Amino acid sequence: MTHQTAILSTFDAYLETGGDTAEEHLDQQTERQLSLQSFPYPVMLELAFPELDFANRWCWQRFGPSHGECFQKHSKYRICTTEFPHCHKGSWTNRWFVKTEYDFGFNEWYFLTASDRELFLDFVPSINWGENFPIQD
């Protein structure tokens, strides 16, 4: 058994947190719109950092690498082992928006196809902190 704190959320819920300034919200909205042009199927979650890494590993295993700059060298559930800065081309990507608590906040995934988004939504109830963070009795 492991920790499970991930919940399905929305971009509007992120905007309502007050965790960013109005200018930062505008920047996030602009960047989000750019992502949606290439990856039009989003899913927003509120979750802990280990769950983010766990979900990204699942996406890499199902859909291949995440599109854009690779941050895997910082992951608790690493797939890509390249140490130097690099990018990948892929059919999905994600963006961290804001921390709302220690190691917890909003992240949105973007998918190229509706079917990949649906697979991810089916997976959401299974997202947890993973094997690296077992609950101690």
Cα–Cα distance between 100 and 18 in angstroms, integer?
A: 9
* Closest alpha carbon to 48 in 121, 133, 137: 133
pLDDT digits (tens, 9 = 90+) for 26-69: 898 999 999 999 999 999 999 999 999 999 999 999 999 999 99
Beta partners for 94?
109
Quick one: pLDDT at residue 137?
Answer: 59
Q: When comparing pLDDT for 136 and 67, which is higher?
A: 67
1: pLDDT strictly greater than 60: no
* 127 pLDDT more than 90: yes
Tell me how far apart the alpha carbons of residues 105 and 38 are, in angstroms, rounded to a whole number.
Answer: 24
DSSP one-letter code for 134:
B
pLDDT band at 11 (very low <50, low <70, confident <90, very high): very high
84-120 residue pLDDT tens = 999 999 999 999 988 888 889 999 999 999 999 999 9
